[in-house]
Structure 1
Amino acid sequence: MTQKKDAGILAVDVGSGTQDILVWNPETTIENCTKMVVPSATRILARRIEKETLEGRHIFLTGTTMGGGPCAAAVRRHLRAGLRVFALPKAALTFHDNLDKVREMGVEVVRNRPSVSPLSELVMRDMDLEAVGAVLERFGVSLPPMIAVAVQDHGFSPNASNRRFRFSLWSDLLAAGTGLEGMLYADPPPHLTRMLAVKEQVPRAWVMDTGAAAMLGALLDPWISQRLEQGVTVINIGNEHTVAALIKGSKLWGIYEHHTSLLSEEKLEDHLERFRRGRLSGEEVFQDMGHGCRVVEGTAEAGPFPHLGITGPKRGRFPGLGGHMAAPFGDMMLTGCFGLVEALQRTISACPKPADRV
């Protein structure tokens, strides 16, 4: 059966390892909605760069700002192989918000296609809506009118720590007193350049932070939702970042963020225990090369947020944490997509809703 063209939401959660895709249709059960888990845009680009490296071709990066990680590592390897990398300014901002830093990497920032040979042109972007639409069309599924995309945006910070700047976004969310859906934007602010780049590619898209989307989606797991009034600690252990939140009822009490690769099980367990009790400082986390930690006033009294819900592709690295392995609607990898749909439903009165939630 072909989905109606005037119904549903395309939710795309763009990570460093995979991009997870849900075509949510309010007229069918969530289990029967179309879903895909495919390689992330940065991994696809990294493989293309590696191919050019093996073939001895210089590369010219066009397009716009996107997620780095694997593609940035591939660029460094390409340069070490003695080959040249050219990039338009917007594409170059993928590697650092300060273009002088990008040039120090060895990337040549240019305004036009250089006259060198052999040269391959590669497009940088987080969201390839044409490719997604083409795959869906082969299975008789139309692109829904509403689109939501989650990316991790550190924020534009050319001369200061992007870790501090990113965590200031979480601090602003806590100060505003809104829920995790407060990280969903129809029109992202100017400093969220990666989200703005997605809007350039897909103008009608809503954009959201991946960490917020994943944690909001995890709250839809029945085990977690049934314990919200008692207080929960929900954590998304991603390929690159680990983000945790303290939630009681409908109130967001605290946020913690670190780099997954720098966390041992012992360290994460200690951080979570002190975070829950309002005894972990943001500066300690930052000095440990993480992003930060912040709780609102009264957290110690509201705590200790005893129930732990865990999601994310790297959660298997920390088996000793205990807690509940969240899998909303039986699908952990789509947690961020479910969070996107939930955020839209909480934010937009015109968002389609079924008889029950998500």
Structure 2
Amino acid sequence: MRILAADIGTGTQDILLFDSEKEMENSLLMVMPSPTQVIAEKVMEATQTGKDIVFTGTIMGGGPSGRAVKAHLQAGFLVYATERAALTIHDNLEKVKAFGVRIVSEEEAKELTASGSAVEIVMRDFDPEAVSKALSGFGVTVPEKLAVAVQDHGNAPDKSNRVYRFELFREFIEKGGELECFVYMAEEIPPAFTRMKAQADSLLKTTLRAEGAPEIKAVFMDTGPAAIFGALTDPVARQPSIVVNIGNGHTLGALVLENRITALFEHHSSRMNPEKLQDYIIRLADGSLGFDEVFEDGGHGAYIKEATGFSSVRSVVVTGPKRGMLEKLPEKEIRPEILEKLHFAAPFGSMMLSGCFGLLAGFFKKYPETSIKLINP
């Protein structure tokens, strides 16, 4: 049995090809530029060559690509976008128009491209054709079992998507906070998760499969919970545990008790520092970290359903590409109560693939006939 897991982040897209007939450590893996970084590069190239652009495709992650679009407009060039692609910039299309983006129909987009009036840039978070092309050079094919994670703030055209994201997190934690609360088959994706739904729709229409090939089995997750549950596959994660994923774009910390997320905070990694992070870790476990404090500092927020007290936490597990925020500190700069419990997770020897291992665990939950135990008690 083979499963392709793809964790789509702000800086990188991390891809794991799991094969049940091999040791996990012998799985094939790739850490490549994230789709939004690739889009940003294409936009910057159009800016440098003085060309207008037209976005087609569907909603995907923003950040770097959004900043490149603003720079393109400020340089005096035109930006067109179909409605689905424009949602990448903002859930409210009137705000997209206010930025200076011109909304066009699918037919108008084709005409702009065909006439050479604008360079077409296709928006899409996960591109199985590109992955297939990369693997085919090594004689490897993409399997029909797939697991994909994207960060989805939820569709919130009239309110802060940071607020709405934590409304959704609160709902999932109140439902129990187990892994199965955060993983979906395509037909189970909540309507609010428009980015996740767009990737599912796109993926299941893929032309990769040959005629008569087995039906695709796929699951989808948000990148945050995927990284948390993935880090729990490392034996260093002894529960109750605080698990922190310091990603290129976001830092997410969770209190995990009996494989349940009972408390959570999320901030932008660029606004975090070692002192703030250590304070958040302790206060999340103690139950004193509030939503307003994190939100007003520019973060997404915090929600605590059940706190254990930091003294009851057995391990503080840190993963993610920016984990050097703590890993590179001299010991004297790490609070003693954290230092004695601090571990840097590298599940199956691959720190960058924590999200992929969370996706695998989610796949096994949804398809129990394939189940392999990954998460440690």
* TM-score in same-fold range (> 0.5): yes
Aligned twin of 2:301: 292
Counterpart-to-counterpart distance in 2, 1:247 and 1:357: 16
Q: Secondary structure at the match of 1:223?
A: coil
Aligned partner letter, 2:344:
M
Q: Which residue of 1 aligns with 2:8?
A: 14
Partner of 1:144: 143
Quote how far apart the aligned CAs of 1:352 are: 5.1
Shift of 1:118: 3.9
Alpha-carbon distance in structure 2 between the residues aligned to 1:12 and 1:184: 14
How far is 1:235 from its partner? 0.4
Stretch deviating more after TM superposition (109-118 or 250-259): 109-118
Q: Does 2:354 match 1:339? A: no
Residue type at the aligned position of 1:192: F
Contact 1:312 1:333 in 2 (8 A): yes
The answer on whether the counterparts of 1:58 and 1:117 sit within 8 Å (CA) in structure 2 is no
Match of 2:73 among 79, 98, 102: 79
1:166-245 correspondence runs (5 A): 166-186=165-185, 187=187, 188-203=189-204, 204=216, 205-224=218-237, 227-228=238-239, 231-245=240-254
2:136 and 2:171 map into 1 onto residues whose CA distance is 40
Residues 285, 309 of structure 2: 8 Å contact kept? no
2: distance between equivalents of 1:140 and 1:166? 41
- What's the secondary structure of 1:202's corresponding residue? helix
Counterpart selection for 1:279 from 285, 288, 291: 288
What does the per-residue CA deviation read over 1:91-131, in whole Å, with 9 as the maximum and x for residues that have no partner?
Answer: 00001100111111111111122657541111000011111
CA contact (8 A) 1:11 1:148 kept: yes
Give, in angstroms, the shift of residue 317 of structure 1: 2.5
Runs (5+) with no aligned partner, structure 1: 1-6
3-state SS of the aligned residue for 1:222?
Answer: coil
How much does 1:303 deviate? 5.8
- The answer to whether the 8 A contact 2:179-2:260 is kept is no
Counterpart-to-counterpart distance in 2, 1:301 and 1:241: 25
Partner deviation per Cα, 1:116-152 (whole Å, 9 max, x = no partner): 7541111000011111112212212221121010000
Give 2:61's match in structure 1, choosing from 39, 56, 67.
67
Is 2:179–2:259's contact at 8 Å kept on the other side of the alignment?
Answer: no
**Quick one: which of 14, 19, 25 aligns to 1:25?**
19
AA matched with 2:182? M
TM-score (norm 2): 0.87
Q: TM-score, normalised by structure 1?
A: 0.92
1:87 and 1:32, CA in 2 relative to 1: closer, same or farther beyond 3 A?
same
2:327 pairs with 1:326: no
Query: CA contact under 8 A between 1:247 and 1:305: conserved in structure 2?
Result: no
Moved more, 311-320 or 272-281: 311-320
Checking the alignment, whether the CA contact within 8 Å between 2:236 and 2:315 is kept in structure 1 is no
Higher mean displacement: 121-130 or 110-119:
110-119
Which stretch has the larger CA shift, 244-253 or 71-80?
Answer: 244-253
Report the RMSD for the aligned CA atoms in angstroms: 1.7
Partner SS for 1:255:
strand
In structure 2, the residue matched to 1:120 is 119
CA drift at 1:280 = 1.1
Q: Does the alignment pair 1:257 with 2:266?
A: yes
CA distance in 2, matches of 1:55, 1:71: 17
User: Could you tell me which residue of structure 1 aligns to residue 212 of structure 2?
Assistant: none
The runs of 5 or more residues in structure 2 that have no matched partner are 205-215
Does the C-alpha gap of structure 1 residues 63 and 279 become closer, same or farther in structure 2, counting only changes over 3 Å?
same
Measure, in 2, the Cα distance between the counterparts of 1:296 and 1:243: 16
Q: How many residues are matched?
A: 345
Given residue 316 of structure 1, which amino acid in structure 2 is its aligned partner? G
How many Å apart are 1:347 and its aligned residue? 3.0
Alpha carbons 2:177, 2:262 under 8 Å: kept: no
Do the aligned partners of 2:319 and 2:344 also contact (CA within 8 Å) in 1?
A: yes
8 Å CA contact 2:7, 2:223 repeated in 1: yes
Note the C-alpha offset of 1:304: 3.8
* Identity %, equivalent residues: 44
1:357 & 1:56 partners in 2: Cα distance? Answer: 51
Which runs of structure 2 are paired with 1:26-45 in the superposition (5 Å)?
26-45=20-39
